[in-house]
Amino acid sequence: MVRHYGARRISNSGVIMSARLRIIAAMKQIAEEQQVKLPPLSDDLSLHETGFDSLAFAILVARLEDDLGIDPFTISEDAAFPLTVGDFVRAYENVPA
């Protein structure tokens, strides 16, 4: 059983998994599935430099919505698309509970 609390999940073991860790793990998994060679992920890395195409980003956002229970890009009408990995992570971390 997994309980969702905003951008955090609590697993059966009681471990809190941050949105950042879930996002990075999802990006690595999708990169492997889509055969994309990810550069080292850092907050200042441009999303364009990740090598993800629009399909990979769509998969990422859909998986994160399933995993975290939120989609920060549909919650607000004025949400700007993030430019860097750090911007992307903060979009999930800053969603009101």
Task: Answer yes or no: is 41 within a domain.
Answer: yes
- Domain extent, residue 50, equals 19-93
Is there a domain that residue 1 lies in?
no
How far apart are alpha carbons 4 and 24 in whole angstroms?
18
Q: Assess whether pLDDT exceeds 90 at residue 81.
A: no
Query: Is 31 domain-assigned?
Result: yes
Please write the tens of the pLDDT for every residue from 19-60.
999 999 999 999 999 999 999 999 999 999 999 999 999 999
71 in any annotated domain: yes
Any idea what the CATH number is for the domain that residue 50 is in? Answer: 1.10.1200
* Number of domains composing the chain: 1
Residue written as tokens 């549909």? 74
- Under DSSP, the state recorded for 4 is E
Q: Is residue 42 part of a domain?
A: yes
The answer to whether residue 52 sits within a structural domain is: yes
Predicted model pTM: 0.79
